[in-house]
């Protein structure tokens, strides 16, 4: 099982993201040099759009950030979440999911909405090539909202909070799949760990 690309999107937040595979590498990014990252905005169908007030912007970390000196703010604008600001990193394309050693990020949510007003923070989407033919077969999603109170066999990472930096350990958290076919992974109580997903689709 290989990545095709990775990204995240959400409401108004500041984000610090880190991932590494087998070889430890450090990639420093700045507004002038994003390295492997691209900033885009898409609509609810996944089409990239420019006629929106949703934005991806960079600045100095708000106080209390866990690392680095800068962070990115993802702001969905005034369209009630119909536009999704994202960071996309295709440098992991071809990496085996099982090769990841860390996959974590930190958020500072200042405005939280989402389903039933339970909250939505930046989430990760890993697009997967399951059979090695170079085409997208499925995607798995890590959402902070499903890391507290849903599965007792997964680490409880705490409830979503506003105006507080929170760290999210995606590697050891719960994921759901677009298709629902990977280990039966589905949103909410159906989220599954990466080892469970790998057991279903090595």
Q: Is 160 among the domain residues?
A: yes
pLDDT, position 81:
64
Q: Is 28 among the domain residues?
A: no
The answer to whether the beta carbons of residues 150 and 191 sit under 8 Å apart is yes
Q: Residues of the chain with pLDDT > 90: what percent?
A: 26
If one compares 67 and 148, the residue with the highest pLDDT of the two is 148
Q: Is 30 among the domain residues?
A: no
Total domains in the fold of the chain: 1
Query: Which of the four pLDDT bands, split at 50, 70 and 90, describes residue 14?
Result: very low
Which residues touch 97 (CB under 8 Å, ≥6 apart)? Answer: 1, 2, 3, 126, 128, 194, 197, 198
Average pLDDT over residues 54-74: 79
Q: Is 75 among the domain residues?
A: yes
Q: Is 27 among the domain residues?
A: no
Q: Which residues of 42-60 are buried (b: 16+ CB within 10 A; e: fewer)?
A: beeeeeeeeebebebeeee
Range of the domain at 61: 2-22+35-200
Average per-residue pLDDT for the chain? 79
Q: Is 111 among the domain residues?
A: yes
Q: Is 29 among the domain residues?
A: no
Residue 181 and residue 92: Cα distance in Å, rounded?
23
Q: Is 82 among the domain residues?
A: yes
Residue 75 and residue 162: Cα distance in Å, rounded?
15
Average pLDDT over residues 23-43: 74
173-194 confidence digits (pLDDT tens): 999 999 998 999 999 999 999 9
Is residue 5 pLDDT above 80, yes or no? no
HSE-CB for 81 with a 13 A CA cutoff: 13
If one compares 88 and 27, the residue with the highest pLDDT of the two is 88
Average pLDDT over residues 158-173: 91
Average pLDDT over residues 56-85: 77
For the whole model, what pTM was predicted?
Answer: 0.82
């Amino acid at each position: 099982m290989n990545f095709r690309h990775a990204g995240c999107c959400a409401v108004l937040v500041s984000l610090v993201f880190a991932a590494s595979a087998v070889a430890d590498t450090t990639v420093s990014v700045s507004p002038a040099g994003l390295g492997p990252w691209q900033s885009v905005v898409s609509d609810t169908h996944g089409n990239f759009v420019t006629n929106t007030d949703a934005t991806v912007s960079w600045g100095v970390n708000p106080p209390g950030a866990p690392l680095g000196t800068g962070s990115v703010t993802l702001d969905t604008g005034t369209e009630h979440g119909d536009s999704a600001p994202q960071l996309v990193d295709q440098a992991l394309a071809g990496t085996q999911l099982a090769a990841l050693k860390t996959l974590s990020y930190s958020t500072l949510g200042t405005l939280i909405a989402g389903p039933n007003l339970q909250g939505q923070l930046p989430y990760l989407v890993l697009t997967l090539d399951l059979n090695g033919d170079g085409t997208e077969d499925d995607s798995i999603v890590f959402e902070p909202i499903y890391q507290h109170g849903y599965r007792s066999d997964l680490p409880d990472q705490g409830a979503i909070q506003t105006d507080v930096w929170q760290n999210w350990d995606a590697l050891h958290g719960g994921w759901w799949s677009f298709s629902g076919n990977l280990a039966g992974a589905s949103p909410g109580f159906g989220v599954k760990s990466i080892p469970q997903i790998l057991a279903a689709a090595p």
